[in-house]
Amino acid sequence: MEANVDPEDAPTCATCGEPIANNPTHHVVTWVEDDAVQARHFCDDDCRDAWDDER
């Protein structure tokens, strides 16, 4: 079941800061750090590639 996300409730891109609402190019990178799950959201491949992190 798909649901639309309100831009006010949507995550923001870790690179450009734009809200990611109902975007089919949305990417998420997750990892575990200090026993907690961490996540970064990206609006597209370009922002993911530009993210300054080794993950």
**Banded model confidence at residue 7, pLDDT cuts 50, 70, 90:** confident
Give the per-residue pLDDT at 53: 80
Q: Which residue has the higher pLDDT, 41 or 53?
A: 41
Q: What is the mean pLDDT of residues 2-22?
A: 86
Phi and psi at 49, nearest 5°, equal -65, -30
Phi and psi at 48, nearest 5°, equal -65, -45
Residue 2, pLDDT above cutoff 70: no
Give the per-residue pLDDT at 9: 84
Helix (H) or strand (E) holding 49: helix 45-50
